[in-house]
Amino acid sequence: MEAKTQFFTTPIYYVNAKPHLGHAYTTIAADVATRFKQMDGYDTYFLTGTDEHGDKIVQAAEKQSQSPAEYVEKISRLFQDLWPRLSIGNDRFIRTTQPEHIRVVEQLLTRIHDRGDIYFSSYEGLYCYGCERFYQERELVDGKCPDHGVAPSRIRESNYFFRMSQYQDWLIDHIKTHPGFIHPKQYETEILSFLKEPLEDLCISRPKSRLTWGITLPFDDNFVTYVWFDALTNYISALGYPDGPLFEKFWPSARHFVAKDIIKPHGIYWPIMLKAAGIDIYNGLNVHGFWNVSGSKMSKSIGNVTDPVQVTGQYGVDAFRYFLMREMVFGLDANFTEDVLVSRINSDLANDLGNLFSRVLSMNLKYFKGEIPDVTSAESAALSLEPEAKETIQRFRDAMAGYEFHKGLEAVWQFISRMNKYIDTQEPWRLAKDPDARPKLSAVIRNLLEGLRTVACLIYPVMPETSGKLLAGLKVPLPETGFFKLDRIFPWMQMPAGACLEKPDSLFPRVDAGKKTGQ
Ligand code: MSP
């Protein structure tokens, strides 16, 4: 039977500033989802990249006295270098300045133009140079651009327009008849509410007199392509549209991860572009909220732009990935503070998981000289953690399949805390004093080891390195893929009885709250 397929993408990030916490979150979330799907037996493809054309980039390059080409090369490299450091396993990194991408943008424009959905017209309107787009009066706040806080300029221009309006009813119907197309539900509601207003046609060109850093329109070389039309196309150009094998294999399962700031281009322009070009539209859009830092929007002027390199350098990659996935409810905003990060590291990672691991291995060393104890079924049945482990896997699977990462981790940590309590109630140190209780002691320790094995397998998508360390400590040989598929975590009691386990290194040392950097 052919494997099920899943294609995940992140936004392609602008190269006008270096990567920060927000970019790291989306990319980690898509990475976690990809690793989870692999555990669930899917064949996956994971795409990220950089968006390199447009005014913003030209301005940023000018500030640094560099040519746009030099500048984009430098910043794109920062993103490409960051991802492996955050254990991101993307299959492809696309750049919109790559020739194969440019070719697909040209093809798509030609196709839509040939079908009569792009027309030339003159337009006068209020233009915000920061956003690179025209605004309607009603979209302004006190006459100013809501994002830039400056009054837009009235300009008159001839440009090419994409007839979006005629696809409005089709899109509304598609969203209503495909539950989960936009996830979570509150963003579906938001898109449907945008669509209650008549859709304006989209201006998809910029005259070269104003901007040259872009893709020339294939049907008029006095214009370059609007940066969003160019950028969205990356999702198919990266797969080798129109006839590449990856496109055929993965496009039907495409699901885009974005934050709420870019829901309109993804939820409205993109499906309509695809429809107008006669391409099947993507399968789904996952929209998450925003990270604030210490209660405020990240901004250079406040000085709270959080650098993932700095945080992971200090606290470790897996701790950072865990924190982001545990703390944010997918879809809602969340707050990043160093205090909360440290307290999660100390409580969830050092105390709950780290201590459990070292307690169990130390007891195994003390009572069984490190040998994994064998267990008779009669003894283990009454003491078995098996039903709870099974239930944990099920809860984890359901939550992760629904992109509720925090709930997936919550299920695992409930099981961890159940095991810590199990130790307290079973009191292995007491059993160890009674020679008749030896079979019971074996069963208790063996169940704990099997429980730890289950936890080690489940945390793989979020904490791949820690998962590997735990499994190595438990002497569980890893499959070649580096992880266990969900349906291979059971049977229970699959650890090699008799194998000898050593004293573990500390997994997560406690962070002394006084030693934070104070971001
Ligand atoms: N280049 C466009 C996207 C084109 S996709 C075809 C763009 N780039 S961006 O660099 O501004 O990235 C925006 C994305 O970065 C958000 O949608 C989100 O994925 C991530 N984040 C940026 N700041 C964020 C937060 N403060 N919090 C969470 N994620 C945020 O838009």
Return the percentage of the chain with pLDDT > 90, whole number.
88
Cα first-last separation, the chain = 51
Q: What confidence tier does 82 reach under pLDDT thresholds 50, 70, 90?
A: very high
Q: 423 CA distance to ligand 1 centroid (A)?
A: 45
Looking at residues 398-426, what average pLDDT do you find? 98
Beta bridge partners of 127: 134, 153
**Torsions phi, psi for 433 (to 5 deg):** -80, -15
- How far, in Å, is the centroid of ligand 1 from the Cα of 22? 7
pTM of structure: 0.95
Residue whose CA lies nearest to ligand 1 atom number 8: 13
**What CA–CA distances, in Å, run from 154 to 85, 137, 143, 208, 255?**
46, 11, 12, 19, 38
Average predicted confidence (pLDDT) for the chain: 95
- The pLDDT-based confidence of 519 (bands split at 50, 70, 90) is very low
The protein residue whose alpha carbon is closest to atom 9 in ligand 1 is 13
Is-contact 94 101, C-beta < 8 A? yes
Residue pair 101/233 in contact (Cβ under 8 Å)? The answer is yes
Least confident of 64-78, 132-146, 170-184: 132-146
**Closest by CA position to 342, among listed 510, 519, 462:** 510
518 has pLDDT over 70: no
Which residues are known catalytic residues? Answer: 20, 23, 128, 131, 145, 148, 297, 300
Look at residue 131 and tell me whether its pLDDT is greater than 90: no
- pLDDT beyond 50 at 189: yes
Of all protein residues, the one whose alpha carbon is nearest to atom 17 of ligand 1 is 259
The verdict on the CB of residue 49 being under 6 Å from ligand 1 is no
pLDDT tens track for 237-289: 999 999 999 999 999 999 999 999 999 999 999 999 999 999 999 999 999 99
Helix H or strand E encompassing 205: strand 205-207
pLDDT at residue number 301 = 86
* 445 band by pLDDT with thresholds 50, 70 and 90: very high
Backbone angles phi, psi at 404, to 5 degrees: -100, 75
Task: Give the mutation target among 26, 52, 325 for probing the ligand 1 site: most ligand atoms within 8 A of CB.
Answer: 26
Mind giving me the DSSP string for 43-112? Answer: EEEEEEEEE--SHHHHHHHHHTT--HHHHHHHHHHHHHHHHHHTT---SEEEETTSHHHHHHHHHHHHHH
Give the model's pLDDT for residue 435: 95
**Paired tokens of 126:** 């209020």
> Greater confidence, 220 or 503?
220
Residue 410 has pLDDT above 60, yes or no: yes
Strands 205-207 and 4-14, how do they pair?
unpaired
Segment 319-329 shows an average pLDDT of: 98
Buried b (16+ CB within 10 A) or exposed e, 352-370: bbbbbbbbbbebbbebbeb
- Reported residue count of the chain is 519
Q: What's the CA-to-centroid distance between 431 and ligand 1, angstroms?
A: 56
d(CA 86, CA 319): 11
Question: What pLDDT score was predicted for residue 517?
Answer: 54
Torsion angle, CA of 465/309/68/94, rounded to 10 degrees?
Answer: 10
- At residue 350, does pLDDT exceed 60? yes
Residue 134 pLDDT: 82
Question: Does position 513 have pLDDT exceeding 80, yes or no?
Answer: no
Candidate from 73-77, 311-315, 505-509 with smallest mean pLDDT: 505-509
